[in-house]
Amino acid sequence: MATESVAMEDPGVNGRNVVSWVASGVVLWSTAFLLVRALFPKRSYDFCNRAVSTMHAVAAVCLACLSVDDWSCPVCPLAAASSPRQMKALAVTLAYMVYDAACCHLNGDTRLDNTVHHLVSIVGIGAGLAYQRCGTEEVACLFVTEISSPLLHLREMLKEFGVRDTDLNLLVDVLFAVTFSVARMGFGPYITYVTVTADNPILIKAMASGLQLVSAYWFLRILRMVRYKLGKKKPLPPPPGKLAAAN
């Protein structure tokens, strides 16, 4: 009973505070973007946004880990009241998602998969904060979805430094693919299952399912990317003329 009421009993956690955390977070991430743009004026808009996204990914994973009370069962308790640490971690990420959605829109990035990802994340996290429930499930999802993000952004940022088609690029691509696959297609379905089968609000269940579908779509794209990259590294057969000369 104490666990289920921890968020409600904490005098520092209420709707007004959550809105304040999110609003402050949007300002924080926007300011970070402007600072990166000022520090690296020759770098592209996308590069600077990816730098901020990497900062968020590291912060999100750290906050998710710090919000776990019992590492013997990190996805416990289910369908319970969110702890203050869980709500703060989720508020930081909700603020980032609002910033990133606006940033992508201003840059003309209106891809359907990216838009769906932002919509599902913002609605799902927002609902969790409004209900002050499902903190365990949502923080676990936060960890799983962000653990591969630094490698995702690194592979794109390397291209802007002129590092292309090297062993370093291939290594980063493979590490990203493995991390994404293990996290989102290994642990992701389990988290989705426990979220959907627990006594959670229907909106939370729908958003969990939607995010897993987006992850599955990206997983298929990543498989094609890795197959293409590995195919490029295979040595080409010698021309027919050289084969005839050798014989």
Nearest to 94, CA basis, from 83, 106, 86: 86
Give 4-26 pLDDT, tens digit per residue: 444 444 555 677 889 999 999 99
Report percent pLDDT > 70 for the chain: 89
**pLDDT exceeds 50 at position 235:** yes
Do residues 74 and 138 touch, judged by C-beta distance below 8 A?
no
Mean pLDDT over 96-113 rounds to 92
Q: How far is CA 50 from the centre of its chain?
A: 12
What pLDDT shows up at residue 85? 94
DSSP 92-158: HHHHHHHHHHHHHHHTT---HHHHHHHHHHHHHHHHHHHHTB-HHHHHHHHHHHHTTHHHHHHHHHH
Burial class (CB in 10 A: 0-12, 13-18, 19+), 100: buried
DSSP 175-238: HHHHHHHHIIIIIHHHHHHHHHHSS--HHHHHHHHHHHHHHHHHHHHHHHHHHHHHHHHSPPPP
State the pLDDT confidence band at 233, using cuts at 50, 70 and 90: low
What pLDDT shows up at residue 121? 94
**pLDDT exceeds 70 at position 240:** no
Mean pLDDT over 111-136 rounds to 93
Q: And the tokens for 84?
A: 């203050």
Report percent pLDDT > 90 for the chain: 74
What pLDDT shows up at residue 6? 45
Mean pLDDT over 191-203 rounds to 95
Mean pLDDT over 165-171 rounds to 87
3-class SS at 165? coil
**pLDDT exceeds 70 at position 142:** yes
Residue pointed to by tokens 């990206």: 218
Q: And the tokens for 1?
A: 């009973």
Give 32-50 pLDDT, tens digit per residue: 999 999 999 999 999 999 9
Mean pLDDT over 112-120 rounds to 91
Neighbours of 186 (CB within 10 A): 11
**pLDDT exceeds 50 at position 247:** no
- β-partners of residue 81 are 133
> What mean pLDDT, rounded, does the chain reach?
88
Which residues, including other chains, have CB under 8 Å from residue 212's CB and lie 6 or more apart?
A: 184, 188, 189, 192
State the pLDDT confidence band at 164, using cuts at 50, 70 and 90: confident
Q: From its phi and psi, is residue 9 left (phi > 0), alpha (psi between -120 and 50) or beta?
A: alpha
Neighbours of 154 (CB within 10 A): 17
**Dihedral through CA 120, CA 125, CA 126, CA 130, nearest 10?**
140
- β-partners of residue 133 are 81
What pLDDT shows up at residue 17? 87
Give 45-103 pLDDT, tens digit per residue: 999 999 999 999 999 999 999 999 889 999 999 999 999 999 999 999 999 999 999 99
